[in-house]
Amino acid sequence: MKHFLNLKEIPKKKLRSILSDAKKRKKYRENFNNLDLDKTELLNGKIIIQIFDKPSLRTRLSFYLAVKQLGAGIITVKNDELHFAKGEESIADTAKILSNYADGIILRSNSDKKMEEFSRYLNIPLINGLTPSSHPVQILSDIFTIEEIKKKPIAKLKICWIGDSNNVLNSLMEASVKFSFKLNIACPKNYSPNNKFFSWVKRNNKYVLVYNDPLKAARDVDVIMSDKVISLNDKVNKKNKIKDFKKFKINKQIIKVAKKDAIFLHCLPRGNEVSEDVFSSNQSKVWLQAINRTHVQKSILLYCFDKLR
Ligand code: CP
Ligand code: NVA
């Protein structure tokens, strides 16, 4: 069994196998209903528990579908329904019990430390469904979407991130090393990428560049990505932060300097960081991006259970 915690720790080859498995799986399900089971039911007899410290629409429901389609059962609990959230039961004891009652855990946590500690005590796979500093299942799925639309390996493309230096960007930066793609990051001066992630990325990918001007960062790129300025874990002065990002709002002017066939992606939910005309344009592929999460997460689950084709 394997955990799926951060892209940095997973061998390049394995990440590539997850994506190629997902491609076959998506094709196979072209005429299926959401809850139709895959013929092979590779996770038949298993039960997956998903625990959410924070709100979720996409991650929660796409994992629900992924687990069901693979023939397993799923229970979703909010963290405040468990003892360990309130400190009444240790992470170690909770993990011991869950390792017996369940076959796999998906956790969205408000603490990186908790994710790490939990993974050490569990004897069953743990999948990271977002922490304050990472969102690896989102980014692996986004790479799938980019390659599906562009019909070429992401290593041949230039990606641009415009927005906050947050958890989604950290996972995107890790992906740029694993998949060897060029990444331009545009953010205000005081919001530079987290040094813990950035220094490792810079040592391993010299094609990651930071700009303080979105027009420079977006020039001739194939993909523009963004996320909310205010994340779930942000304890900042929201008004001030939104003001600081005013110049970084993605509008038609910014899209125009990218390649003609450039696409726009956003993990959702959105805030005010993208104009309505860009968000609802033909270049925006956000709905396909969300749909693809189910396919990729099925392959992530199979990777964890050593059942990848
Ligand atoms: N993109 C994403 O993870 O969305 P949710 O917060 O709704 O799960
Ligand atoms: N950066 C966002 C991502 C939501 C999917 C957050 O952490 O709230």
* Predicted confidence (pLDDT) per residue in 18-42, tens digit: 999 999 999 999 999 999 999 999 9
Cα–Cα distance between 148 and 168 in angstroms, integer?
A: 20
Q: Which residue of 127, 268, 270, 297 sits with most ligand 1 atoms within 8 Å of its CB, as the best mutation to test the pocket?
A: 268
Rounded alpha-carbon distances, angstroms, from residue 225 to 2, 96, 241, 262: 29, 39, 19, 11
Return the closest-CA partner of residue 264 out of 293, 222, 292, 231. Answer: 222
Bridge-partner residues for 223, per DSSP? 159, 263
The CB of 166 under 6 Å from ligand 1? The reply is no
Rounded alpha-carbon distances, angstroms, from residue 104 to 6, 43, 100, 304: 17, 11, 10, 9
Q: Ligand 2 centre from 228 Cα, in Å?
A: 7
Q: Which residue of 56, 63, 78 sits with most ligand 1 atoms within 8 Å of its CB, as the best mutation to test the pocket?
A: 56
Nearest-atom index, ligand 1, CA of 54: 6
pLDDT given for residue 15 in this prediction? 98
Work out the mean pLDDT of the chain and round it to a whole number. 96
Q: Ligand 2 centre from 41 Cα, in Å?
A: 31
Which tokens go with 264? Answer: 């726009």
φ, ψ for residue 247, nearest 5 deg:
-70, -10
The CB of 267 under 6 Å from ligand 1? The reply is yes
pLDDT given for residue 84 in this prediction? 84
Which tokens go with 90? Answer: 């240790």
Cα–Cα distance between 292 and 58 in angstroms, integer?
A: 10
Bridge-partner residues for 107, per DSSP? 51, 128
The CB of 145 under 6 Å from ligand 2? The reply is no
> Cβ–Cβ contacts within 10 Å for residue 22, how many?
24
Of all protein residues, whose CA lies closest to atom 1 belonging to ligand 1? 267
Return the closest-CA partner of residue 50 out of 105, 8, 7. Answer: 105
Strands 73-78 vs 158-162: parallel, antiparallel or unpaired: unpaired
> Cβ–Cβ contacts within 10 Å for residue 47, how many?
14
Q: Are 89 and 83 in contact (CB under 8 A)?
A: yes
The pLDDT tens digits of the residues spanning 269-299 come to 999 999 999 999 999 999 999 999 999 999 9
Q: In this structure, which ligand is nearest to the CA of 228? A: 2
Cα–Cα distance between 73 and 48 in angstroms, integer?
A: 6
Of all protein residues, whose CA lies closest to atom 6 belonging to ligand 1? 56
The CB of 133 under 6 Å from ligand 2? The reply is no
pLDDT 10s per residue in the chain (309 long)? 999 999 999 999 999 999 999 999 999 999 999 999 999 999 999 999 999 999 999 999 999 999 999 999 999 999 889 998 777 899 999 999 999 999 999 999 999 999 999 999 999 999 999 999 999 999 999 999 999 999 999 999 999 999 999 999 999 999 999 999 999 999 999 999 999 999 999 999 999 999 999 999 999 999 999 999 999 889 889 999 999 999 999 999 999 999 999 999 999 999 999 999 999 999 999 999 999 999 999 999 999 999 998
Q: Ligand 2 centre from 28 Cα, in Å?
A: 31
The CB of 168 under 6 Å from ligand 2? The reply is yes
The pTM for the full model equals: 0.97
Return the closest-CA partner of residue 303 out of 128, 133, 186. Answer: 128
Return the closest-CA partner of residue 44 out of 103, 99, 122. Answer: 103
